[in-house]
């Protein structure tokens, strides 16, 4: 992979990281202004708790994605970005454009998914 592509992917990943962090800050600020005593009845409280649960699940997913972004940025710095960690062949540019945090080429990912599907 050439330096131009690496720089483009690094920029893409850094922008994603910034966006996730800004979103988390907004969510945190919104949640800190919330008071359950302001809700008039049990249905509103239950609805609010459900919404809060969804927000926490989304934040967990964002945290997981953030870790993947950090690892991808580290791989760019150490020169292993774009190389499949299983078969050590190059990951196609199209796959990286679709999912820049990927660590597996499409063939290895398909094999992994087949194994996961057969187990469960």
Along the 120 residues of the chain, how does pLDDT read in single tens digits? 899 999 999 999 999 999 999 987 777 666 555 555 555 677 776 777 777 777 777 788 899 999 999 999 999 999 999 999 999 999 999 999 999 999 999 999 999 999 999 986
Q: What is the pLDDT of residue 39?
A: 56
Query: Three-state DSSP class for 85?
Result: coil
Fold of 1-81: 1.20.120
Contact, 110 vs 29, CB < 8 A?
no
pTM (predicted TM-score): 0.78
Q: What is the pLDDT of residue 29?
A: 65
Separation CA 46–CA 43 (nearest Å): 5
Residue 72 CB burial class (10 angstroms; 0-12, 13-18, ≥19): buried
What are the start-end ranges of the H helices in the chain? 3-32, 42-78, 93-98, 106-119
Domain chopping of the chain, boundaries: 1-81, 82-120
């Amino acid at each position: 992979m050439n330096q131009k592509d690496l720089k483009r992917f690094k920029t893409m990943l850094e922008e994603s990281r910034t966006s996730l962090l800004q979103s988390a800050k907004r969510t945190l600020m919104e949640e800190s202004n919330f008071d359950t005593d302001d809700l008039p009845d049990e249905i509103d409280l239950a609805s609010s708790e459900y919404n809060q649960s969804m927000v926490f699940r989304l934040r967990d997913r964002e945290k997981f994605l953030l870790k993947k972004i950090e690892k991808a940025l580290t791989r760019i710095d150490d020169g292993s970005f774009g190389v499949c960690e299983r078969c050590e062949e190059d990951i196609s540019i199209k796959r990286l454009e679709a999912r820049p945090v990927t660590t597996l080429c499409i063939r290895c990912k398909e094999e992994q998914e087949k194994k996961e599907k057969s187990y469960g």
